[in-house]
């Protein structure tokens, strides 16, 4: 057993699968970061992911093109998040309650659409999966090969996006303006920033990335669709934003940690059949709680996070 664990091949595939399972978490956590940096807490990520996964799967299945599925899933995420946006930004109702409403509405809509298209069926329907990149020679390097040169295109996209997001928020003028909306919306408004518009854009970004993360699950990771495919990943991504202290670097590390835990438990399910898989499957959830316990970063949150905004209020 120990030989298996410490073999180079095992380590290589473990790290490779870490990135595979980190991808959706990273995408969705980045989406939530775009939201919260403009003061919009969205606990409906799980719901948006479910919707993205369903629409992505159905469109990918119809067009036999997983890329179309990913695009459709992302747009579906934007669309459903506009309910949240209108209710919280324009009507100024509570963000938490609206997030909750998405978590209930999106799965219901998803089940409805899926059954409408495929009928009530118990058998798993297989869709086309977006193939991984395979760079010859380089991907044969032990450990680093599979880690860096044999990944899904969306995995590369997620990490590139993380870098771009870090640059945007820290090095650009529009990025600083954007952050001002989440910190001091009133001051931002006096500087000529259209706070309401920015909040809509932020919510759109959040929906886009959460929808993409969901669609990744059904069109890149699983290739099939089943109810409950998201399995709390939205909440783990939400935790990653807190654990990562609302910074891209922290968020990447947090999602990698959660992804690693998930990859480890998935591997252990195959090499350690003695331990019931249900016990192993608890690990990512427990690790997330443990991580939140060790680091409580709430002081780093954007100051106007979660608060409604109105130009008229004083």
Instruction: Find the binder of another protein among 231, 264, 272, 307 (CB under 8 A).
Output: 231
Instruction: Find the binder of another protein among 115, 194, 249, 303 (CB under 8 A).
Output: 115
Q: CA–CA separation, 199 vs 205, rounded Å?
A: 10
Please report, as residue ranges, which positions from 38 to 57 form the binding site for another protein (by CB under 8 A): 43
According to DSSP, residue 298 is labeled G
For residue 9, the minimal CB distance to another protein (Å) is 29
Of 68 and 292, the one with the shorter C-beta distance to another protein is 292
Q: Is 98 in the site for another protein (CB under 8 A)?
A: yes
Contact 248, 165 (CB under 8 A): yes
Candidates 30-38, 49-57, 85-93, 196-204; binding stretch for another protein (CB under 8 A): 85-93
Q: What does the DSSP assignment read for 183-203?
A: H-HHHHHHTT--HHHHHHHHH
**Which pair of tokens denotes residue 36?**
């919260």
Q: Is 293 in the site for another protein (CB under 8 A)?
A: yes
Of 129 and 280, the one with the shorter C-beta distance to another protein is 280
Q: Is 103 in the site for another protein (CB under 8 A)?
A: yes
Instruction: Find the binder of another protein among 137, 190, 312, 314 (CB under 8 A).
Output: 312
Instruction: Find the binder of another protein among 1, 120, 137, 274 (CB under 8 A).
Output: 120
Q: Is 281 in the site for another protein (CB under 8 A)?
A: yes
CA distance to 34, 250, 252, per residue, from 238 (Å): 12, 13, 12
Candidates 17-25, 60-68, 165-173, 235-243; binding stretch for another protein (CB under 8 A): 235-243
74-101 burial string, b = 16+ CB within 10 Å, else e?
bbbbbbbbebbbebbbeeeeebeebbeb
Contact 37, 95 (CB under 8 A): no
For residue 276, the minimal CB distance to another protein (Å) is 5
Q: Is 97 in the site for another protein (CB under 8 A)?
A: yes
Query: Which of 26, 31, 223 minimizes the C-alpha distance to 127?
Result: 223
């Amino acid at each position: 057993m120990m030989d298996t664990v410490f073999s180079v091949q095992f380590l290589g595939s473990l790290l490779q699968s870490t990135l595979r399972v980190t991808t959706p978490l990273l995408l969705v956590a980045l989406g939530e970061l775009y939201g919260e940096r403009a003061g919009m807490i969205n606990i409906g990520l799980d719901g948006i992911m479910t919707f993205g996964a369903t629409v992505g799967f159905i469109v990918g299945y119809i067009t036999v093109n997983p890329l179309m599925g990913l695009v459709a899933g992302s747009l579906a995420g934007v669309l459903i998040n506009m309910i949240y946006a209108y209710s919280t930004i324009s009507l100024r109702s509570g963000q938490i309650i609206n997030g909750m409403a998405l978590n209930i509405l999106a799965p219901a809509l998803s089940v409805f659409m899926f059954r409408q298209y495929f009928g009530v069926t118990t058998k798993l329907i297989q869709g086309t999966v977006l193939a991984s990149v395979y760079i010859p020679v380089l991907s044969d390097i032990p450990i680093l090969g599979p880690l860096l040169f044999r990944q899904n295109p969306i995995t590369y996209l997620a990490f590139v996006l993380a870098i771009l997001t870090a640059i945007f928020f820290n090095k650009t003028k529009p990025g600083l303006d954007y952050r001002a909306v989440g910190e001091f919306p009133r001051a931002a408004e006096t500087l000529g920033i259209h706070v309401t518009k920015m909040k809509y854009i932020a919510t759109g970004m959040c929906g886009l990335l959460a929808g993409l993360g969901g669609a990744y699950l059904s069109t890149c990771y699983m290739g099939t669709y089943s109810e409950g495919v998201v399995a709390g990943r939205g909440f783990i991504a939400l935790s990653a934003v807190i654990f990562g202290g609302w910074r891209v670097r922290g968020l990447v590390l947090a999602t990698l940690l959660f992804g690693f835990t998930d990859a480890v438990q998935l591997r252990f399910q195959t090499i350690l059949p003695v331990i019931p898989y249900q016990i192993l499957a608890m690990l990512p959830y427990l690790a997330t709680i443990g991580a939140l316990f060790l680091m409580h970063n709430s002081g780093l949150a954007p100051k106007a996070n979660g608060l409604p905004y109105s130009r008229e209020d004083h």
